[in-house]
Amino acid sequence: IGMAVGIGMYALALSPAAISLLGLELLGWFMPPTSKKKAPSVTDVAPAAERANGSRMPSRRIVLASGSPRRAKILEGAGVGFTVLRTDAPETSVPSDPEGTVRNNAAAKLEAARAELAARPPAKPCDGILAADTIVWYNGRIYGKPRDLEEAAVFLRELSGRTHTVFTGLAFSGADGAVRTAVSRSDVTFRELDEGAIAEYVSRVRPTDRAGAYDIDESGDLIVESWTGSYENIMGLPLEPLRAWG
């Protein structure tokens, strides 16, 4: 049980060669940044080439239109430089169309980011914008972020011992202005959770900012029995569409 989650976590520890390959595939979209001025209202993460020993090698950077620390972790682990831009785009929820829900929400976040950047360009140029939206879907219901810890516990009770699907929609706009979208899905099976296990997980993780009220990458072994598909998708940012777009 724990091994399945452990394997997924290990997958994030990319080798230098894998990171290099991903950088070539993913970052072929973008142009090198031309400014080193720090933008005061956003968070910057330099590309791996800049972080290593203060290197001044040419590097590429995107805008991540998401405040999710899990998405930032995935990009940083892949060696991608990015600037975080949080948006307030409204989200829709159509339980009968989970794929359309995440695709449309990601596209809305992308458009909100494009509008904000047009009005207030970042001090450090970026050559692409990436937005994402993730939901948990089970039995015709969409599980987004719980309102509070009590609702988080309700979500976990309802998902206990069952297999649900995680959908993540991606929307990307490059230098040419064209918008690409994709949807990834993974299936996750929970352990049978008693009240003690639910209380422990909610207390330890406090998952009010996670779709479905859980995070497979943080104490996931307490609740996850197995999963299939992309581990990064379950975290909120699948890499496969980005590789395909490269």
CA distance 43 to 85: 7
Active site residue 148: no
| Other CB atoms within 10 A of residue 14 CB | 15
The single residue of 97, 133, 148, 187 carrying the catalytic annotation is: 133
CA distance 182 to 198: 33
Tokens of 157: 């009770």
CA distance 225 to 137: 17
**What is the three-class DSSP state of 109?**
helix
- Rounded to the nearest angstrom, the gap between the alpha carbon of residue 89 and the centroid of all alpha carbons in its chain is 16
Name the residues annotated as catalytic: 133
